[in-house]
Structure 1
């Protein structure tokens, strides 16, 4: 048998099993609760999106034991189906949080799996929170193992890494030990899938839902004793080697012990963080995160330099080349494509259109003559010297002035109280019109007291659509 000390999958499983709520610093727990609130908000709003409706219709027609809540729906389904639907809803708006260690959206698939299985098991809020933190950590660490080639090669890391995170979270809720969790991660490696080619379409969200479902099922199969070869992540024909040339180079240059240690090390970035949740980034614009720095530049220049769209004669957006395959749709034809367009989102910002409002991404703005005119004046320039997502926006005005702003949206918020307030406002805005105010306020209270919930059902079932009154 392979030496477990050189088994990447087992090392990661052991790390997931070792995470205990009582050992997690209070500020990390605070970020985790904020992530839960944010996930619930984007999922409640995303439940009304077309892809979610279609998936609910399909899954309900397939049937199954009505054990788990479908957010924003009257229907209930088995945990795996609920994880798929709720995971899709959580990403349908592309408004969920981000971590560049994945790189992608770390919370969406992990929480979709954890909350669905937690509801089926009637788990406590503390157990669900612990499982979420473990799953989030595993998603980020697998992501770091195969970065950056995995993502640059065209894989949708939110979905691929999310499957591992969902498997780790579900394993914790099922009480699996390190050996069984290792099997769950191994099974997940055969199910982890997703392509960046889907960006700008409904399939991007669908991939996230399938990651949640795939990870949850992997853990349940591992619990039942389904076998899988040793170290499916680090195997010579395993996930890491087949999905990233970076991994093959690392293995060729380093000893197996070094590679195994690399799987569970903390980040090399300064400052050093103990948990990847500390580098979680929340969205305050409802578009691809790599458009956010450009939006912030445009908003700053409009505010401080009195830049008006009618006075713009040329506009340059300078970004890392990494953005080309992600958020550089030059002429978006749908509201969803607009979220992946640097030109469109910057034009919206300069014209005072609220990029924080999901409804602002609509057909009317796609065809807006002012937005189209600004898009024509805009040039996206690729600069390898810029970090992702550093951006420089330079605007030339009719009066001969040239104004410029640089912004980096990759830095996490230091003031967690300010972040909590901002996220609470975002949550309320997303839920308005979907749930009554009394439920919205009750969800907030329960999230911020999550560890005291005896049964997670108390929280999850508040998100269901109310039964229509006769």
Structure 2
């Protein structure tokens, strides 16, 4: 008997997943990531990348519509997913899963929510689609993500498009053959590079991922075909993107309990910049409070960490808010100068402050030999008065192991909504999504949470 291909393994799992099997813990995680992803997207609504994407998408129409979270406009589901994903990623404030080496929810939720709203399915069905997508993302991540990411792939998009397509296939109820074709179509669109970090294209990459997932499932539903071996064939994804990694072992564990959403969870960010700097930010802010430090007291900082942990921090001398989001040097300087890393930290003017720019040469980062996991960071500070301060950080605030409380998450979302000036009530958004019920229809839920009218949809094509 011929062994199933990787696409067939994913299809078998996604078509067999039952929403009723989700635990209360899993549902609660989905409530929180929906809140975090939508709230962060609202915070990013006035960023240039979001405005340009919205302008591009405006004026299109179609029989299946989703809502732009940031303005309430209805537009075709593919474009709604595209714009919402860009808005959700442009601040680099969206959640992370380390096994994927990326941001799962901004890849998964914009397409899943757009289709869930268009088809008006229940929150439980949405949660099942998200859980399937996260399971696929993490299993693929365990198979090859560390090396894939080191080589410069933006795993949020390059892995996320396959995971999002699996989740959308579950939501639409595609059969196994249709799902195999949808995955193959997703592989045909898999992309995303580190070289774009610090530019608008960084957020475009998950936007393309979200739109590609919608495109893949809707085409497959209509009979559009792709190779069943697109993932693991002789010239397939694994060969070209993952140096021939074996996918079958990890994919054979799809659906094993506990699910990834329960076993690993999702890390919700405390700081609106690249997660590679977050342990160092926790440490430097603690040292600032413990020792009353200010920027002018510090002669230099050496930040060391686990191998591969600083890979995305590619801008050592940032000159814009976008490049500063991928700079350890800026994170350390701004934390010492301001006592916080906030949304307001990432304007061009804040980055170009003379005292901040002058401090960049005094921050160095060093990756240790060995493995990425377990993650750790060590801070070694030399003060101008001759003292040395050191702090090692292993646990990350906001991670699944040290989660933000609902109150802290709500405060983050209120801040995002205030930052955008959108007039969206962050407290209402949080209260509505955190109390979402299994059987509640997604369209009215989103409309009530955001204060926008629900998108209208015609007959299915």
Fold shared, TM-score > 0.5 on shorter chain: yes
2:385 alignment partner in structure 1: 399
In structure 1, the partner of 2:168 is 170
Residue in structure 1 matched with residue 358 of structure 2 by the alignment: 373
Residue 9 of structure 1, aligned match among 2, 7, 10: 7
Closer, same or farther in 2 for the Cα pair 1:398/1:267, shift >3 Å?
farther
Of 361, 375, 378, the match for 2:346 = 361
**How do 1:427-438 and structure 2 match up within 5 A?**
427-432=413-418, 434-436=421-423
Partner of 1:326: 312
Give 1:412-423 correspondences, 5 Å limit: 412-414=399-401, 419-423=405-409
Q: CA deviation at 1:276?
A: 4.2
The match for 2:410 is 424
1:233-272 to structure 2, matched below 5 A, reads 233-245=231-243, 247=245, 250=246, 260-265=248-253
In the TM superposition, residue 321 of structure 1 has moved relative to its aligned partner by 5.1
The answer to whether the Cα contact below 8 Å between 1:16 and 1:138 also exists between their aligned partners in 2 is no
In structure 2, which of residues 322, 336, 341 is the aligned counterpart of residue 350 of structure 1?
336
- What is the distance in 2 between the residues matched to 1:142 and 1:243? 12
Give 2:181's aligned residue.
183
Change (3 A) 1:385 1:66: closer
Say whether residues 1:156 and 2:142 are aligned partners: no
Q: Which residue of 2 aligns with 1:60?
A: 58
What is aligned with 2:440? 454
Q: CA deviation at 1:453?
A: 5.2
Could you tell me how far apart the structure 2 residues matched to 1:378 and 1:392 are?
A: 13
1:226 aligns with 2:214: no
Deviation at 1:144, TM superposition (A): 2.3
Q: Take 1:74 and 1:420, find their aligned partners in 2: how far apart are those partners? A: 25
- The 1:455/1:28 distance shift into structure 2, 3 A limit, reads closer
Structure 1: how far apart are the matches of 2:309 and 2:144? 19
- Does the residue aligned with 2:224 lie in a helix, a strand or coil? coil
What is the number of residues matched between the two proteins? 449
Sort the Cα spacing of 1:65 and 1:54 in 2 relative to 1 into closer, same or farther, 3 A.
farther
Match of 2:202 in 1: 204
Q: SS of 1:146's equivalent?
A: helix
Residues 301-334 of structure 1 deviation map (CA, whole Å, 9 limit, x = unaligned): 1122333322111211113452554114111011
Residue among 124, 132, 137 paired with 1:139:
137
Bigger shift: residues 86-95 or 141-150: 141-150
Following superposition, the deviation at residue 217 of structure 1 comes to 1.1
Supply the distance in 1 between the matched residues of 2:189 and 2:160 (Cα, whole angstroms).
11
Residues 307, 372 of structure 2: 8 Å contact kept: no
C-alpha distance in 1, partners of 2:287/2:194?
32
- Contact kept, 8 Å, 1:87 with 1:109, in 2: the verdict is yes
| Distance in structure 2 (CA, Å) of the matches to 1:386 and 1:303 | 31
Is 2:297–2:383's contact at 8 Å kept on the other side of the alignment? yes
| C-alpha distance in 2 between matches for 1:427 and 1:201 | 24
CA deviation after TM superposition for structure 1 residue 382, in Å: 2.8
Over aligned residue pairs, what C-alpha RMSD do you find? 2.5
Q: Which residue of the partner structure matches residue 368 of structure 2?
A: 383
**Could you say what secondary structure the match of 1:51 adopts?**
helix
Residue 17 (structure 2) aligned to one of 16, 19, 39: 19
CA deviation after TM superposition for structure 1 residue 12, in Å: 1.6
Correspondence for 1:336 among 314, 322, 326: 322
CA distance, structure 2, for counterparts of residue 133 and residue 434 of structure 1: 32
- Counterparts of 1:24 and 1:275 in 2: how far apart (Å)? 12
SS of residue in 2 equivalent to 1:6: coil
Aligned equivalents of 2:244, 2:377: Cα separation in 1: 26
CA distance in 2, matches of 1:154, 1:56: 28
CA contact (8 A) 2:44 2:90 kept: yes
Compute the TM-score of the two structures, normalised by the length of structure 2.
0.90
Q: Pick closer, same or farther for the CA change 1:49–1:459 going to 2, 3 Å.
A: farther
Q: Which consecutive residues of structure 2, in runs of 5 or more, have no partner in the other structure?
A: 454-461
CA distance in 2, matches of 1:380, 1:104: 21
Q: CA deviation at 1:264?
A: 3.3
Cα pair distance change 1:15/1:466, threshold 3 Å: closer
Query: Aligned residue for 2:459?
Result: none
SS at match of 1:209: helix
Once the two structures are TM-superposed, the CA of residue 415 in structure 1 deviates from its matched residue by: 6.2
Say which is worse superposed, 379-388 or 362-371, in terms of deviation: 379-388
TM-score under structure 1 normalisation? 0.89
DSSP-derived class of the 2:392 partner: strand
The worse-fitting range, judged by mean Cα deviation, of 50-59 and 299-308 is 299-308
Per-residue displacement from partner, 1:381-431 (whole Å, max 9, x unpaired)?
232247364211111112221111111356834466x53222111111111
Contact 1:96 1:283 in 2 (8 A): yes
